[in-house]
Amino acid sequence: MDSFTDFFLKLNHLWLGVTVSAVVTLVMIFVLKRIAPNIGLVDAPGMHRGHSRTTPLIGGIAMFVGIMFGALSLDVPLAGMRAFFAGCAVVLIIGMLDDMKELPTVSRFAAQIIAGLMMALWGGVTLENLGSIIFHNHTALLGFWSVPLTVFACVGLINAFNMSDGTDGQGGILVMVALVGVMLSVFISKRTDILPLVAMTTASVAIFLCFNLRGPWRRQASVFMGDAGSMLLGFIVCWYLVSLSHSQSPNGTGLAIRPVTALWLVALPLMDTITVMLRRILEGGSPFKADRTHYHHLLRAADLGINETIAVITVTAINFAGFGLVGEAYGVSEPVMFYTFLFVFLIWFCGTYFAISAFRQADNDFIAMRDRRASDRDGIPASGDRRSGGPDRRKVARYVKEETAAEDADANVGPMPDKPVES
């Protein structure tokens, strides 16, 4: 077997493409940071935000331009990349418009469906089967449902990454874990047809994370990827996973991974998003109504700092992806891997559901405590005192407002709400 070094040397201009992608992404970040405030492409701080200053939403644009220029530097035909970059452009543009002025949900879904159709019909990257996830050695072919399910998977993964991007560095880390898993799969299978794009995407995301992660030298992110970036990277990851698990390589090496392994590479954003949406439906709300019950919100509510939260998220995502890759390497049967995924998801759903209930009860107790403090300070009856017809709500409201303002000034994450709030 050729070494990894020999493997790379066989690919003309791969290192040039990676370098160009990284450098162009870096330059674009510096350039767009100056332009963003003039065109309204910024995220202003607020009570529901985790930052205290206006931050440019230009990470997605910078990464897209970096990947595109990296592709132009490759000594390969670009005909096969047209559908890829066209789909990227569609979700990027709609994401930019959403960052500048929040768009209706239907507009975002329409753009995502169009991108999914481009991937399936123009690019020829489709879900042809579900593998042998139900019965061993019995492949579940999709037939007519191939294109609709490809579009469904594309829209689902785009929104999974979009909804999971809620903390400095989180979206980039989740994408990076998936990309590293894809890179390892490419190395093992020697899928030289897709390696350049994957390598350039990884380089661009790495450069972006240098500006998006917190560290000793920076107390908060200096740029965000925005909806444009999270939707773009969700589409790109979906393209790579479907291509590796369903499309034959031009060099005859076959599939790089099984479909069930692709699930494990993006397990964390999928489980988190599906759990949040199911809980919202069970509580009678809209599955798309923003709230503070994602995985990172629960970690923050458990009194973890931003860096600690990112560390836990990174380890969790790596464990899920690693489990999938180990199962792939050792040939664990697809039904075992799939039913294990469902079992882990069930544990995840129940655990987060009970955690949310516990945090909400703690918040109710805290509100009751503030009510009692207001009663003691202002000489008014507490909520449970029926002798005087209950408390003076105006005084209680004033006290709660003062306490809440003090908390918001001291911390960026407020208590778990009983009802969803806008994010």
Most confident listed range (51-55, 240-244, 341-345): 341-345
Q: What percent of the chain has pLDDT over 70?
A: 78
> Which of the pair, 305 or 75, is modelled with greater confidence?
305
What is the structure's pLDDT at 410?
Answer: 46
What is the structure's pLDDT at 297?
Answer: 86
Q: How confident is the model at residue 399 (pLDDT cuts 50, 70, 90)?
A: very low
What is the structure's pLDDT at 47?
Answer: 43
Average pLDDT, the chain: 82
Distance CA 65, CA 222 (A): 19
Cβ contact 293:355 at 8 Å: no
Structure tokens at 334: 């697809």
List the end-to-end C-alpha distance of the chain, in Å, as a whole number: 51
- Give me the residue label for tokens 């464990």: 319
**Residue 252: pLDDT over 90:** no
Structure tokens at 240: 């790579």
Question: Which of 239, 81, 80, 227 shows the shortest CA–CA distance to 150?
Answer: 239
Interval 287-310 mean pLDDT: 86
Distance CA 349, CA 331 (A): 28
Distance CA 271, CA 368 (A): 34
